[in-house]
Structure 1
Amino acid sequence: MSSLTGKPVSFWIDSTATTQYPALPNDIAVDVAIVGAGIIGITAAVRLKQAGKTVALIESKHLSTGASGHTTAKITSLHSLIYADLIKDLGEEKARLYAESNEAGIAQVVEWIEQEQIDCDFSRQNAYTFAESTENVDKVEAEAKAAISLGLPASFVKDTTLPFPIAGAVKFENQAQFHVRKYLLHLAKKIPGEGSYIFENTQVRGVENGTPCTIETDRGTLSAQEVILASNLPMLDRGLFFAKSYPKRSYIVGASIARDRAPEGMFIGTGENYRSIRTTPYNGDVLLLIGGEGHKVGEETQTEENYRKLEDYARDRFGIDTCDYRWSSQDMVSFDNLPYIGNLTPADNHVYVATGMSLWGMSKGTMAGMLLSDLILGIENPWAELYDSLRATPFVSQTSIKENMDVAIRWVGDRVKGLNKDLSDVAKGEGKLVTVDGDKVAAYRDESGTLHTVSALCTHLNCIVNWNSAEKSWDCPCHGGRFSCDGKVLNGPPLADLEKVDLS
């Protein structure tokens, strides 16, 4: 089997400098502490500072290297096929609020880019949801009609600049794309100073609601009148957001292509094996980005095949020989397709959360930062009720029942995995689950032959992790926690690393 091509890192991160903000010193006090320095956290921080608040933006690693740094970076209110379903499930009024709030998110991004003259490869583009076969064309036509009825810049078309025929597509005019990390790093420069801060390499361990709130980190303690949790999935379980959504992982490859061979616009397919397509400036030509092969975190282990399928698609449809980049992304999908934005719990009246962007974080994330800043400033916002984080309906949906039953089944059933006791079966570059003296062990042998052994129990709620072969990581299929091959936390909700196991 051929080896994967492309540098295994997000293009957005690889093409920008690593930020060097300090870690948190002890005993800092601000008006608002924001946990998570992606598009939600940075948007909220900038708006709150502009309103006169002092803020502290806290990031466990480096700015915008989490979900925001691994996106496809489409700034659009076209979210695959959603508006027809929203009208059917929630009614036209709420569907229109969803459309208007996402259009407002786009407008905020454009306003800041123009005001700040941000060099971030911004361009206006049309966006398309396309059906290649007649099987899904009725859904596409229904989506176009629904979007038009809500006042969105939509139409149904049968021709695009893609180098292959389609049966039909929803077209949204005057949408946009950008280099997300160039944009966010520029905005972040507006935050420090005048009593406001950015702290990197600082992991939040706990938050206590109060007046003020207390934020415990691995570096020290910080106090704030209000706290925003914007870390993809909150690290605090008391809001139960890990049970109101599920983690989805998807894959992207990037390949250099001549401008005259590249499609114009941004595209998302329909059906189970959909593809996401866009381009971005790259070395005098453009980088063609193709995404897809999404699955729930931890459900697939031989993840190299997902990259291979995307490479094959690039080769077959666009004549690409090799890829320059490959990376994966992770987001939380809410059970009703709406983000959760508001208080963490009814008792946490000074702690706010934004999660469940459901793979469309550029418009939704910006909108979430706008809404959170309004909530903290006491400004009435027409979207607050629609996205209320405390709404109960997701718990009774068919999707929520299925996903939470799946978690329960895995928690019990995965205990029988990894019965192999022979560590010699673990090849170089491979990870396997083994059982040693009745304990589940996650064993990885690096390319030099050294064996790394850690507990296979996720430190969130003790589910059994699975090996992710393409990312060389241990992934939890229950709530999306991910760990490096030697057990270090990569994605929440777990806060603690996998426990080391000494087999000497």
Structure 2
Amino acid sequence: MPDQNETNYTLPGKAKSYWVATTPESNYPALPGDIRVDVAIIGGGVAGITSAFLLKEAGVSVAVIEADRIITGTTGNTTAKITSQHSLIYDRLISEFGRGQAKQYADSNQAAIDKIEYIVRSWDIDCDFSHKPAYVYAGSEDSAQKILDEVRAARSLGLPASFEGDLPLPFKTYGSVRFSHQAQFHPRKYLCALAKEIPGNGCHIFEKTRALGIEGGDPAVVKTDKGTVIAENVIQATNFPIIDKPGELFKKLKQSMSYVLGTYIEEPFPDGMFINAEKPVRSLRSQPTERGEMVLVVGDGHPTGNGNPTHEHYRHLEDWVRSIYKVRSIDYHWLTEDVISEDKIPLIGRLTPESEHLYLATGFKKWGMTAGTAAAMILMDTILGRNNPWTEIYDPSRSGQGPQFSMENVSGIEPGQGTIIEKGEEEKVAVYRDQQGLLYTLNPACRHMGCFVSWNDAEKTWDCHCHGSRYNARGEVIQSPAVYGLLEKKVRGQDEKPYSYIRKGS
């Protein structure tokens, strides 16, 4: 069992996604200069890569622009369930959006499952694709009625839903929704295979190329740190959009983190993918590996920049899995960050009604494998001037309120730690001390919209809980919507030396 003293808790396994750890790193070139294509796609995750793949098949020239390496961000850290069962959602959709739009959501996600399977079979992609039933189970009697309501709602929309009483899980449940013919896979094996088909015939993937802004018009212009991409149409597929002022998207979106443990257990894992109906979320699925079946233990989600110290979330998951299974080893730990809209429905389509050539795909609410694939199908149809039956439910022009946030400050700092120090009532400085004792002092105002960042102790990052931008300990941007790093902030002590030059004990 892990030490219950937080300061002594050691994070288990490698600090890396299993998907990233078991596939070669991509090595596509940076943008060599100014180019022109039919469609520029910002972001190399599931929505961006799938959009590029489908558009190229349709004869459209595309350029994928990725700030780092493709399929290493949110998509590279997913749990990779391919399912239309997105926890308990359909009873609420019918109540709040009506049966017609609820059916659009159901049909689009079911179609995404079929599209992924079709691509896997047609292109003979070795990506561990397999069909699995998906379950949402009631972990308490209070959720039992919600399960029954969800079964009825899902079945009324034509989904493959049924009620299941007893589940092969090592704890008591109170009924579940079962969706048959769902699936799982290795997302990087799948998407890397799609990516290989994109370059050529006027199509490109550009890595290590950060988009800095978009100018609308006909044609549109994407400005990057390596050059300019001129395109008839632009798709933002960057998890949180980097251009979010038109349509006031920043009021409609927030980011949330979840935690994953790659675990080997002594017992055989049951056939299926499982998630509970309560908070905190506890999700389980298996993955075949060279060492046997690995179980992904997922949950403890919270808004980015809020929540307990991040070590505690991993520890909660470890305590839980050890309480229900005989754990042989925990080989990986990682976190994933995803965008959630205010009404829990993705935003897919034109950025605003007036944005004739600017498109958006975001807000997948941690169900990006089907939602991102459905987004690619919707955007392809829209760009090609074809009718798509699912556009209404995902319209980005829905109105809404922005997320609320707060900031907690702490004092004291040791090597390898960071904190926010207040100087007076208004002045704040973000301080990180590295293992050699060197202090880095930064302005904690996020470069996206000025919200204050907070320290993520497990990942050694500065995280913005306003819209989810993230920076490494030195202030360099690692997660959009921000495109510029935190500014250095000189703070002077009694000896008049900048903090950034003071070592511990000096």
* Band the TM-score falls in, shorter-chain normalisation: over 0.9
Structure 2 match to 1:38: 45
Deviation at 1:30, TM superposition (A): 0.5
1:244 aligned residue (244, 248, 252): 252
Q: Give the whole-Å Cα distance in 1 for the aligned partners of 2:44 and 2:272.
A: 29
Please give the secondary structure, in 1, of the residue aligned with 2:142: coil
Whether 1:344 aligns to 2:332 is: no
2:381 aligned residue (371, 374, 379): 374
Please give the secondary structure, in 2, of the residue aligned with 1:238: coil
1:231 aligned residue (228, 238, 260): 238
Q: Give a deviation string over 1:34-68, Cα, whole Å, max 9, x none.
A: 00011101111111111111100110000111111
Structure 1 match to 2:494: none
Query: Which amino acid is 2:57 matched to?
Result: Q
Q: Give the whole-Å Cα distance in 1 for the aligned partners of 2:459 and 2:438.
A: 18
Q: Give the whole-Å Cα distance in 2 for the aligned partners of 1:41 and 1:235.
A: 14
Please give the secondary structure, in 2, of the residue aligned with 1:372: helix
Query: Which amino acid is 1:441 matched to?
Result: V
Does structure 2 retain, via aligned residues, the 8 Å contact 1:277–1:290? yes
Structure 2 match to 1:444: 432
Structure 2 match to 1:432: 419
Q: Give the whole-Å Cα distance in 2 for the aligned partners of 1:454 and 1:319.
A: 45
Whether 1:151 aligns to 2:158 is: yes
Q: Give the whole-Å Cα distance in 2 for the aligned partners of 1:287 and 1:242.
A: 38
Structure 1 match to 2:464: 476
Structure 1 match to 2:330: 323
Please give the secondary structure, in 1, of the residue aligned with 2:121: helix
2:443 aligned residue (455, 458, 468): 455
Does structure 1 retain, via aligned residues, the 8 Å contact 2:420–2:431? yes
1:20-99 to structure 2, matched below 5 A, reads: 20-99=27-106
Deviation at 1:436, TM superposition (A): 5.0
Q: Give the whole-Å Cα distance in 1 for the aligned partners of 2:11 and 2:35.
A: 46
Structure 2 match to 1:306: 313
Q: Give the whole-Å Cα distance in 2 for the aligned partners of 1:248 and 1:487.
A: 20
Does structure 1 retain, via aligned residues, the 8 Å contact 2:102–2:393? no
Query: Which amino acid is 1:459 matched to?
Result: R
Deviation at 1:360, TM superposition (A): 0.7
Deviation at 1:301, TM superposition (A): 5.1
TM-score by length of 1: 0.93
Deviation at 1:417, TM superposition (A): 4.3
Structure 2 match to 1:220: 227
TM-score by length of 2: 0.93
Deviation at 1:300, TM superposition (A): 2.3
Structure 2 match to 1:288: 295
Unmatched 5+ residue regions in structure 1? none
Query: Which amino acid is 1:24 matched to?
Result: L
Structure 2 match to 1:195: 202
Please give the secondary structure, in 2, of the residue aligned with 1:338: coil
Does structure 1 retain, via aligned residues, the 8 Å contact 2:432–2:441? yes
Structure 2 match to 1:4: 11
Does structure 1 retain, via aligned residues, the 8 Å contact 2:264–2:328? no
1:72-151 to structure 2, matched below 5 A, reads: 72-151=79-158
Q: Give the whole-Å Cα distance in 2 for the aligned partners of 1:278 and 1:379.
A: 37
Q: Which moved more, 1:168-177 or 1:466-475?
A: 466-475
Q: Give the whole-Å Cα distance in 1 for the aligned partners of 2:304 and 2:253.
A: 12
Q: Which moved more, 1:471-480 or 1:65-74?
A: 471-480
Query: Which amino acid is 1:277 matched to?
Result: L
Q: Give a deviation string over 1:329-356, Cα, whole Å, max 9, x none.
A: 1111111221111111233211101111
Please give the secondary structure, in 1, of the residue aligned with 2:141: coil
Query: Which amino acid is 2:78 matched to?
Result: T
Deviation at 1:99, TM superposition (A): 0.6
1:417-428 to structure 2, matched below 5 A, reads: 417=409, 425-428=412-415
Query: Which amino acid is 1:469 matched to?
Result: D
Query: Which amino acid is 1:213 matched to?
Result: A
2:476 aligned residue (488, 492, 499): 488
Unmatched 5+ residue regions in structure 2? 491-497, 502-506
Does structure 1 retain, via aligned residues, the 8 Å contact 2:409–2:419? no
Q: Give the whole-Å Cα distance in 2 for the aligned partners of 1:43 and 1:473.
A: 29
Q: Which moved more, 1:6-15 or 1:444-453?
A: 444-453
Structure 1 match to 2:20: 13
Q: Give the whole-Å Cα distance in 1 for the aligned partners of 2:296 and 2:13.
A: 12
Does structure 2 retain, via aligned residues, the 8 Å contact 1:292–1:310? yes
Whether 1:359 aligns to 2:366 is: yes
Please give the secondary structure, in 1, of the residue aligned with 2:317: helix
Please give the secondary structure, in 2, of the residue aligned with 1:279: strand
Query: Which amino acid is 1:447 matched to?
Result: Q
Does structure 1 retain, via aligned residues, the 8 Å contact 2:42–2:48? yes
Please give the secondary structure, in 1, of the residue aligned with 2:155: helix
Does structure 2 retain, via aligned residues, the 8 Å contact 1:300–1:468? no
1:388 aligned residue (395, 405, 419): 395
Q: Give the whole-Å Cα distance in 2 for the aligned partners of 1:32 and 1:75.
A: 27
Q: Give the whole-Å Cα distance in 1 for the aligned partners of 2:357 and 2:58.
A: 18
Query: Which amino acid is 2:417 matched to?
Result: E
Q: Which moved more, 1:370-379 or 1:328-337?
A: 328-337
Higher helix proportion, which one?
1
Q: Give a deviation string over 1:386-438, Cα, whole Å, max 9, x none.
A: 2111123xx1xxxx3xx54x24xx4xxx5x946x5xxxx31011111114586
Does structure 2 retain, via aligned residues, the 8 Å contact 1:23–1:219? yes
Q: Give a deviation string over 1:148-177, Cα, whole Å, max 9, x none.
A: 111111111112222223111100011000
Q: Give the whole-Å Cα distance in 1 for the aligned partners of 2:79 and 2:122.
A: 24
Q: Give the whole-Å Cα distance in 2 for the aligned partners of 1:180 and 1:196.
A: 22
What is the CA RMSD across the aligned residues, in angstroms?
Answer: 1.5
Q: Give the whole-Å Cα distance in 1 for the aligned partners of 2:372 and 2:435.
A: 39
Query: Which amino acid is 2:173 matched to?
Result: I
Q: Give the whole-Å Cα distance in 1 for the aligned partners of 2:422 and 2:341.
A: 35
